[in-house]
């Protein structure tokens, strides 16, 4: 089943069909999420309107970890089974994941100032998220650092897999260490503990971020596959002349 989609030519055909669906889903889900999050949902009884930052902060942080986990799976598949499309997917995911990580840190900082009284604190959750950003940036630098793309891919795949240890550390950091950051209130044992009026915009925005990721991922994978074709065509041209 996976092999059927791992063929780049077939993938390109499927991608061009799926891409507009992802684009429209992002616009519609994002529009609904923004309306509910900014205008329709109630202010928090403790945090007031500042709670509205949650609707971009939490989905960005979820996506930051989701993208990294996807990259780790793709890197493992690329290393073990040598699927060229897996390596391409990992490389295409990295900049999107880095954007989400930056956004979670940035919006978290803007939420922290009014609620905690500080833009930044060196506690486990914030620091491990910053480490995640550096892992993304390190991967992007490494994968592009070699003239021979296969060497860059191999080295950077190993970096992603070693760095994956950081993902459970981020997730459980709020339970393992003392922190200003609140513990999980959606993804936890016993179900979410936030009201439906706030859960809906949160889930809509999370879905919109997910479809955005898939949309941009497809664009980047297509660009990457064509980039590989360009490299091969240029090599052929050099051999001819």
Partner 1 sequence: MSTIKEIIDMGGYGAFIWPSYGVTAVVLLVMLIASLRDLRDNEATLQALDVSTKEEPVEKKT
d(CA 50, CA 108): 11
Residue that the structure tokens 């997917």 belong to: 89
Using the rule CB under 8 A, is 20 a contact of partner 1?
no
Residue that the structure tokens 């939420």 belong to: 111
For partner 1, which stretch binds (CB under 8 A), given 103-111, 126-134, 163-171, 183-191?
103-111
Q: Which residues pair with 48 in a beta bridge?
A: 44
Q: Long-range pairs for 150-158 at CB < 8 Å and ≥24 separation?
A: 153/78, 153/87, 153/91, 154/79, 156/75, 156/90, 156/91, 157/75, 157/76, 157/78, 157/79, 157/87, 157/90, 158/75, 158/79
d(CA 96, CA 220): 10
User: Which residue's CB is nearer to partner 1, number 67 or number 74?
Assistant: 67
Using the rule CB under 8 A, is 43 a contact of partner 1?
yes
For partner 1, which stretch binds (CB under 8 A), given 41-49, 65-73, 167-175, 194-202?
41-49
For partner 1, which stretch binds (CB under 8 A), given 46-54, 77-85, 169-177, 195-203?
46-54
Using the rule CB under 8 A, is 143 a contact of partner 1?
no
The span from the first CA to the last CA of the chain, in angstroms, equals 42
Name the minimum Å distance from CB 45 to partner 1.
Answer: 12
Name the minimum Å distance from CB 165 to partner 1.
Answer: 27
For partner 1, which stretch binds (CB under 8 A), given 37-45, 72-80, 156-164, 165-173?
37-45
Q: Which residues bind partner 1 (CB under 8 A)?
A: 34, 38-39, 43, 48-50, 52-53, 56-57, 60, 95-96, 99, 102-103, 106-107, 110-111, 113-114, 212, 215-216, 219-220, 222-223, 226-227, 229-230, 233-234, 236-237, 240-241
């Amino acid at each position: 089943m996976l092999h059927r989609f791992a063929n780049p030519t077939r993938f390109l055909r499927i991608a061009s069909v799926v891409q507009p669906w992802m684009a429209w889903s992002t616009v519609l889900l994002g529009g609904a999420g923004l309306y509910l999050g900014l205008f329709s949902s109630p202010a928090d009884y403790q945090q007031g309107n500042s709670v509205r930052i949650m609707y971009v902060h939490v989905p960005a942080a979820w996506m930051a970890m989701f993208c990294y986990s996807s990259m780790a799976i793709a890197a493992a598949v690329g290393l073990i089974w040598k699927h060229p499309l897996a390596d391409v997917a990992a490389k295409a995911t990295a900049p999107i994941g880095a954007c989400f990580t930056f956004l979670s840190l940035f919006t978290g900082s803007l939420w922290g100032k009014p609620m905690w009284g500080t833009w930044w604190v060196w506690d486990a959750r914030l620091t491990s998220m910053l480490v995640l950003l550096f892992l993304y940036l390190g991967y992007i630098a490494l994968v592009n650092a070699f003239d021979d793309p296969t060497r860059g891919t191999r080295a950077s795949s190993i970096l992603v897999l070693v760095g994956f240890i950081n993902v459970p550390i981020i997730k459980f950091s709020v339970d393992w260490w003392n922190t200003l950051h609140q513990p999980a209130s959606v993804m936890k044992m016993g179900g979410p503990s936030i009201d439906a009026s706030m859960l809906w915009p949160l889930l809509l925005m999370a879905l919109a971020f997910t479809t955005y990721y898939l949309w941009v991922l497809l664009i980047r994978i297509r660009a990457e596959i064509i980039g590989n074709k360009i490299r091969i065509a240029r090599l052929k041209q050099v051999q001819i002349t």
